Structure 1
């Protein structure tokens, strides 16, 4: 049986995050790379609206 990858590899503490782009609260695309070297970044994923 072939192995099917379940997702990207798990990051370890201190390991840089891979670049990705997601919409902000207003729908504007924001790339993680645009913050690199400028400021610490906190990424929060909301499961829904409440």
Structure 2
């Protein structure tokens, strides 16, 4: 089991995140790169619906 890959490395505080695309609240794709240099970005993942 020690040789089974666990996925991509974990980001550490201060490391830049890799570019990715996620849908916004209206379903429109938004890339992280579109915010680079403009404003801080907070990404929140909801684990369920309440």
Gaps of 5+ in 1: none
Gaps of 5+ in 2: none
CA distance in 2, matches of 1:37, 1:3: 39
TM-score by length of 1: 0.83
> Number of paired residues?
50
RMSD: 1.7
CA distance in 2, matches of 1:2, 1:33: 35
Structure 1 consecutive aligned stretches of length 4 or more whose deviation exceeds 6 Å: none
CA distance in 2, matches of 1:2, 1:48: 32
